Copies of this chain bind each other. A is one copy, B any other.
Amino acid sequence: MDIKHYMQELGQLARSSAGLMARATTAQKNKALIAIAENINKQRSILIKANEEDLKLAQEKKLDTALLDRLVLTEARIDDMSEGLNQIANLADPIGIITDLAMRPSGIQVGNMRVPLGVVGIIYESRPNVTADAAGLCLKSGNATILRGGSEALNSNQAIAECIHKGLVAADLPREAVQVISTVDRAAVGELLRMSKYVDVIVPRGGKSLIERVSSEARMPVIKHLDGICHVYIDSNADIDKAARIALNAKTQRYGTCNTMECLLIADSIAADVLDKLAPLYKAAGVEIRGCKASAKLLNDIKLATEEDYATEYLAPILSLKIVHDVDEAMQHIAKYGSQHTDAIVTENLTTARRFLREVDSSSVIVNASTRFADGFEYGLGAEIGISTDKFHARGPVGLEGLTSKKYIVLGDGHIRT
């Protein structure tokens, strides 16, 4: 069978199982999730064996060590997969929830019911645990799923898929509700992105080049996350202790995450005091500072920041720094160089905080807390399929609700329109 027909068949099966998934009861979905968690737990020797094949092939192909690290399924990662599925089973089922049911002057009662999106396509890279995580979230939200993992994780993903299929069948749900593409042919991705008849939304999870390819080729909506160029602005009315604590945490708690601060802005009137406290802390943590001219006068051993620095997501122990006059200049800088991901202000002034919250156009806007909080778990979503930097449909961390839609429901008693 050629790749086009293979993918079309996959798409048709996904579409037909989507209807069954939309009607599945909460008890059925939870039963499946718990069964999948158990299967993954019990079949761990099979999973590890499949993963060893992938690792062997990856080593033969001399893939880099960062990739090998993401690819490996350790006992701890298998525990996490299984535990993650049990956690999803414990989350409230969003499907069928009715809200805002209100009487209208005509006598009809109008409300909204939450429903699944339909078929979710997920394209990801080397981490095989995404297979279980993504399948679990789509299952709980009543969607059918087509998963396309990295070609280097093929054996691991197929072994996980086996666990998923057995769990679905144990709960009387269609095994085609979760399909894992079993070919390494790269043309499969192109086909998937064209199947708008069968796929309602695509979620790419991976590096920038993957996301850019998916965004430009997909014929259906994409829930995507591009750069995270996050700022902290320390206002003239900031509490200096809080400011230093937040600025240190936002940069150094983890370097490689999208909600890590990449640029620190400080009001000129408070800059010397803040940097007195903060610069030694960054130095101790091994953070390189690249600053504006004014900051270089205060810190004599720093590099000057270029235009490119301010537009860069370092994902590394490097920080760009700029001294600004006030909140207006800070917000102008954020609007120009930011990526509308997460930006924070440190201030004790209520009016300034209210302005920043209202005027900064980012998916998370934070007052007096670290940018590192911008995360589905921290926000109480229970789980996260990704972070959206778009404004359409879902914005910021995307949990179960981002995989759903709403429909209007109307209840009458023989009402007609006059």
Chain A contacts to B: CB under 8 angstroms: 19, 22-23, 96, 102, 104, 106, 108, 110, 113, 115, 117-118, 200-201, 221, 239, 241-242, 245-246, 248-250, 253, 335, 344, 357-359, 361-370, 372-374, 378-380, 391-393, 395-397, 405-418
- Whether B104 lies near A391 (C-beta < 8 A) is no
A22 to B253, CA, bound (A): 33
What chain B residues lie within 8 Å of A249 (beta carbons)?
Answer: 416-417
- Whether B96 lies near A392 (C-beta < 8 A) is no
Which single member of B248, B367, B417 contacts A412 (CB below 8 Å)?
B367
- Whether B365 lies near A409 (C-beta < 8 A) is yes
Which one of A245, A246, A373, A374 has the greatest number of beta carbons of chain B within 10 Å? Answer: A373
Using known A-B contacts A393-B392, A395-B405, determine if residue A358 contacts B23 with beta carbons closer than 8 Å: yes
- Whether A410 lies near B367 (C-beta < 8 A) is yes
Which single member of B241, B368, B393 contacts A393 (CB below 8 Å)?
B393
User: Chain B: which residue is nearest A379 at the CB level?
Assistant: B110
- Whether A415 lies near B369 (C-beta < 8 A) is yes
Kindly list 17 other residue pairs between chains A and B, CB separation below 8 angstroms, not including A115-B361, A248-B416, A369-B411.
A102-B380, A108-B369, A108-B373, A113-B365, A221-B221, A221-B393, A245-B416, A249-B416, A253-B417, A363-B408, A364-B407, A364-B408, A364-B410, A366-B412, A372-B417, A373-B415, A397-B408
Expressed in whole angstroms, the minimum distance between the Cβ of A76 and any Cβ of chain B is: 20
What chain B residues lie within 8 Å of A344 (beta carbons)?
Answer: 410
- Whether A416 lies near B246 (C-beta < 8 A) is yes
User: Chain B: which residue is nearest A201 at the CB level?
Assistant: B392
Count copies of this chain in the complex: 2
- Whether B365 lies near A407 (C-beta < 8 A) is yes
A100 to B379, CA, bound (A): 11
- Whether A410 lies near B369 (C-beta < 8 A) is yes
A364 to B366, CA, bound (A): 37
- Whether A417 lies near B241 (C-beta < 8 A) is no
- Whether A392 lies near B392 (C-beta < 8 A) is yes
A393 to B23, CA, bound (A): 22
- Whether A104 lies near B395 (C-beta < 8 A) is no
9 A-B contact pairs sorted by A residue (CB < 8 Å): A23-B359, A113-B357, A250-B416, A357-B409, A368-B415, A369-B412, A369-B415, A373-B417, A379-B408
- Whether B392 lies near A221 (C-beta < 8 A) is yes
